[in-house]
A and B are shown apart, each in its own frame.
Chain A
Amino acid sequence: MSAAPLLEVKDLRVEFPTRRGTLVAVDGISFSIAPGEVLGVVGESGAGKSLTGMAIIGLLEPPGRIAAGEIRLEGERIDHLPADRMRRIRGRRIGAIFQDPLTSLNPLYTVGEQLVETILTHLEVGHDEARRRALRLLAEVGIPAPEARIDQYPHQFSGGMRQRVVIALALCAEPRLIVADEPTTALDVSIQAQIITLLKHLAREHGTAVMLITHDMGVIAETADRVAVMYAGRLAELGPVREVLQRPRHPYTVGLMGSIPKLGAVKRHARLVQIDGAMPRLNAIPAGCAFNPRCPQRFARCTAERPEPLQVGDTRTACWLYADGPR
């Protein structure tokens, strides 16, 4: 990558100590995001994608903790910062968007009050300027007649409009990085398209780096520049989105892509590709490659040795199929 990365995550490990031993929920993840770039992070429930996002914004729920690795924002380490310093970075330099817009908004305050408060907290501006900015933000995220709507309460907005308000809130302090965790999952398809277009536009326009966490490959295909596929807390494959979606290399990505019903293929009632079994629980991750019990191409090395991501063309793939050595 040419531009210096805005976010750099190196060998991140997130653990949950429990009475029956320590669970490793995120295990040695490394990636970076450049300014203006959208990195998609996909995986099925429990793959560790949301926890990776939470670790970056410093909102891991105890007893979850970052056990190893580094997170750097514009070169500065932000893992293990004291809570008050992290709080200032969150909102100012990192914006967060979550799945359910209702839980991100305070029902007792108008959206204008919430926007103005956030702006005043993070930027050195007066109240009037803050309100002008709030109006401009609402207009930018596509809320019609912002002057009329700024003094309304969240319940007076529809689901799609609420998510736009949440995005406006995340943008308040012109953050360098936005972590969006399933921002379109709670929305209907027609609204989804609107929000995706908006996110993409904002990344381009403001040079904001976006980490887009989702289980929906379709959203990734439309929005992301690069995509990271996670499985059982580990990185399976990372590369340019076109490459990973059209020429997946890791057998898990191949299975995942095949299991999505496709519109073009109107060979109906044809069986979908299915990956048998389910993702292992965190307390029963198999030795070697975490995917090996479900992998159709498994060989001896897969059950013995854990694969590290290997450079294959433009992508990094954690799979022994692409390593030299005995099969």
Chain B
Amino acid sequence: MDPASRPLVRLIGASRDFDVSRPWLNRVLEGAPRRLLRAVDDVSFDVRRGETLALVGESGCGKSTVARLIVGLYALSRGRIEFDGLDLAALETDAAALRRRMQMIFQDPYASLNPRWRVRDIVAEPIRVLRLADNDAAEGARVAELLRQVGLAAEDGEKYPHEFSGGQRQRISIARALCGNPEFLVCDEPTSALDVSVQAQILNLMAELQERLGLTYLFISHNLAVVLHIADRVGVMYLGRVVELAEAAQLFATPRHPYTRMLMDAIPDLEMSGKPRTPVAGEVPNPLAPPAGCAFHPRCPHANARCRTERPQLRPVAGGAAACHAVEEGRL
């Protein structure tokens, strides 16, 4: 494939199980079986160069696990992940060079910055590890440039993290992530710990940086309104699987999967149009014992016998793809 049109990141049947069995002795004495939690189950999608792909879903749907699989914080159980056409798992030795091209921003800027380091050291650490600067002067200049790029002053480098507000700390995290000139940023709930006015600052900053540096984002969030604002395409996850993937505008205008519709309906109506909100019965089932067939069927108003037994696959529909028998059969 032509390298320019090749997707930057490609997941092919990516899966991750977690072993949540009781300890060995209990299993032997009580005859308890091994238990596997399928956090991510057969997930496939592409992230195109320069776009923002968002993953959205409720807690426990596996969206953060996908993020961690891509940057290599978790190993895959099955499937493969390609970065720029290269299989990440096969690159034992070149992994560092490849990892430099992708970075991650975490949710909690209070936990992701070392409180005992000055900001300039926090931002300079990747420069030192990756040997990106020849001498101290070059390193200092680069740190100052990075801080300015995220809307902080070069002098802020002398301070400690506790001297900054949540929003400013998230700017520091972004500056650190930008150190090695990455192409791809994985952002795991980057604004969820922030107040709305500060969230707006960070979302604006991320959009600016994307334009200026040609970044590609994978943006993880539980907030559909934020996701529809920032993303080009949106993947909706439920219980470890992608149930719908579509252009953001398309998803907003015509959500196909019943779960996506439910998420849309659950967004509070700020316009106060009086649109009745349809509370959905039930909660996300226990991922250790997911329902047979379509995992959403116990909560789905359109479920029939087929939904209870046969697991739907992600199939193309106009403007995207959905994993739903009702959509496929034209019932919905």
Interface, chain A (partner B; CB < 8 A): 44-45, 158-161, 188-194, 196-197, 215-219, 221-222, 241-242, 245-246, 255-264, 266, 268-269, 271-276, 278
- Interface of chain B residues 230 through 250 with chain A (CB within 8 A): 230-232, 248-249
List the B residue with the shortest CB-CB distance to A255: B197
Is the Cβ of B280 less than 8 Å from the Cβ of A193?
yes
Q: How far is the CB of B281 from chain A (nearest CB, A)?
A: 8
Is the Cβ of A242 less than 8 Å from the Cβ of B272?
yes
A263 to B269, CA, bound (A): 9
Is the Cβ of B268 less than 8 Å from the Cβ of A221?
yes
A190 to B253, CA, bound (A): 20
Chain A contacts for B222, CB-based, 8 A: 188-189
A157 to B225, CA, bound (A): 29
List the B residue with the shortest CB-CB distance to A260: B196
Is the Cβ of B249 less than 8 Å from the Cβ of A192?
no
| Other A-B pairs, 13, CB within 8 Å; known A221-B270, A264-B271 | A158-B283, A159-B283, A161-B283, A193-B265, A215-B195, A216-B268, A221-B269, A255-B197, A263-B252, A266-B253, A271-B204, A272-B203, A278-B198
- Tell me whether B212 is interfacial, beta carbon within 8 Å: no
Is the Cβ of A268 less than 8 Å from the Cβ of B263?
no
Given A217-B270, A268-B228, the answer on whether A194 and B196 have CB atoms closer than 8 Å is no
Chain A contacts for B268, CB-based, 8 A: 192-193, 196, 216-219, 221-222
A66 to B270, CA, bound (A): 34
Q: How far is the CB of A43 from chain B (nearest CB, A)?
A: 9
User: A-B pairs with the 9 shortest C-beta distances?
Assistant: A218-B268, A259-B200, A44-B195, A261-B229, A272-B200, A188-B58, A189-B266, A274-B200, A193-B279
Chain B contacts for A261, CB-based, 8 A: 200, 203, 225-226, 228-230
**Which of A218, A241, A246 has the largest count of B CB atoms less than 10 A from its CB?**
A218
Say which residue of B195, B225, B277 sits within 8 Å of A222 (CB atoms). Answer: B277
- Tell me whether B141 is interfacial, beta carbon within 8 Å: no
Say which residue of A188, A219, A255, A273 sits within 8 Å of B59 (CB atoms). Answer: A188
- Tell me whether B207 is interfacial, beta carbon within 8 Å: yes
Per-residue CB proximity of B31-65 to A under 8 Å, as 1/0? Answer: 00000000000000000000000000011000000
Is the Cβ of A274 less than 8 Å from the Cβ of B267?
no
Say which residue of B168, B198, B224, B271 sits within 8 Å of A189 (CB atoms). Answer: B224
A269 to B50, CA, bound (A): 13
- Tell me whether B284 is interfacial, beta carbon within 8 Å: yes
A269 to B215, CA, bound (A): 14
List the A residue with the shortest CB-CB distance to B285: A158
**Which of A190, A241, A258, A264 has the largest count of B CB atoms less than 10 A from its CB?**
A190
Chain A contacts for B231, CB-based, 8 A: 268
List the B residue with the shortest CB-CB distance to A257: B270
Say which residue of B165, B229, B266 sits within 8 Å of A193 (CB atoms). Answer: B266
A260 to B201, CA, bound (A): 11
Chain A contacts for B277, CB-based, 8 A: 193, 197, 222
Q: Is the interface of B mostly helix, strand, loop or mixed?
A: helix
Chain B contacts for A260, CB-based, 8 A: 196, 200, 225, 270
Q: How far is the CB of B256 from chain A (nearest CB, A)?
A: 17
Chain B contacts for A190, CB-based, 8 A: 58, 262-263, 266, 279-280, 283
A271 to B230, CA, bound (A): 10
A246 to B272, CA, bound (A): 9
- Tell me whether B320 is interfacial, beta carbon within 8 Å: no
Chain A contacts for B207, CB-based, 8 A: 269, 271
Chain A contacts for B283, CB-based, 8 A: 158-161, 188, 190-191
22 of the cross-chain contacts (CB-CB < 8 Å) are: A44-B198, A45-B195, A158-B283, A161-B283, A189-B266, A189-B267, A190-B266, A192-B266, A193-B278, A218-B270, A221-B269, A245-B272, A255-B197, A259-B196, A260-B196, A261-B230, A262-B270, A262-B271, A263-B267, A273-B200, A274-B200, A278-B168
A193 to B203, CA, bound (A): 26
- Tell me whether B199 is interfacial, beta carbon within 8 Å: yes
Is the Cβ of A262 less than 8 Å from the Cβ of B225?
yes
Is the Cβ of A275 less than 8 Å from the Cβ of B197?
yes
**Which of A161, A188, A242 has the largest count of B CB atoms less than 10 A from its CB?**
A188
Q: How far is the CB of A321 from chain B (nearest CB, A)?
A: 19
- Interface of chain B residues 265 through 321 with chain A (CB within 8 A): 265-272, 277-280, 283-284
Chain B contacts for A278, CB-based, 8 A: 165, 167-168, 198
A266 to B247, CA, bound (A): 12
List the A residue with the shortest CB-CB distance to B229: A261
List the A residue with the shortest CB-CB distance to B203: A272
List the B residue with the shortest CB-CB distance to A192: B266
Chain B contacts for A216, CB-based, 8 A: 268
Q: How far is the CB of B329 from chain A (nearest CB, A)?
A: 25
A45 to B195, CA, bound (A): 7
A215 to B263, CA, bound (A): 20
